[in-house]
Amino acid sequence: MSRRWRIACVILGLLIGVGAFLAGYKYGLKQCKPYPPQSVVEVKKSPVKKPVAKKAIKKAPVPVKQRQMVVVPSVGTAQLILRINVVEWAPVFQGKSLASRDIGPVVRQGLANGTVVRTKESLGFLVNGASVSVYDGSAIVDPGPIGPEAVLVVRPVDGVRFASPPNGLPLTTNQGELDAAVRRGASEIWMNFVLAPK
């Protein structure tokens, strides 16, 4: 092979390589599409609302009879509601034990079936020294949290005679009695007073 022929082959190879490169480059440009210009998105921050203090709305006071009051200092954590019931003397009490603990079921059943009625008199009581007014024969008192030391002493103060408990004697609970009732699941204790026969 002559020298000229070799040079011609090299030049031809170079031309073919450059041609292939240019053809590939043009083909690549057609395949690759440029990204569209990125749109600028404006983010608007919503204004932060400052808390506005609510104006207190004044309501006209409505006079109501006070039915609940805390009468015992906090001595524990369990809650108990004390209900004072004052009922009129009725024939169902005749011959029954008038001890406070014994009279409760008779009072409950009598109120339910109508053989016992609550008194209409307004009466005053002291519950652990705090004044409680009984209207229509009933008062609900929140004695505060009950603990092992809690006791209640409920005493009438208007000089009214009672059959249960006997006149002049307060109705009392023993230390630990209320706590034991709460532990048994009691949420309400009834303290019943039966007016003496007229």
Per-residue confidence at 29, pLDDT binned at 50, 70, 90?
Answer: low
Give the CA angle between residues 58, 61, 62 to the nearest 5°: 140
CA distance 66 to 133: 8
In this prediction, residues 105-124 reach a mean pLDDT of: 94
pLDDT at 113: 95
Whole-model pTM? 0.59
Mean pLDDT of 49-74: 48
pLDDT tens digits, one per residue of 75-101: 445 578 889 999 999 999 998 888 877
Q: What is the pLDDT of residue 28?
A: 65
pLDDT category of residue 63 using cuts at 50, 70 and 90? very low
The 10s digit of each residue's pLDDT in 69-80 is 444 444 445 578
pLDDT at position 70: 40
Count CB atoms within 10 A of the CB of residue 107.
22
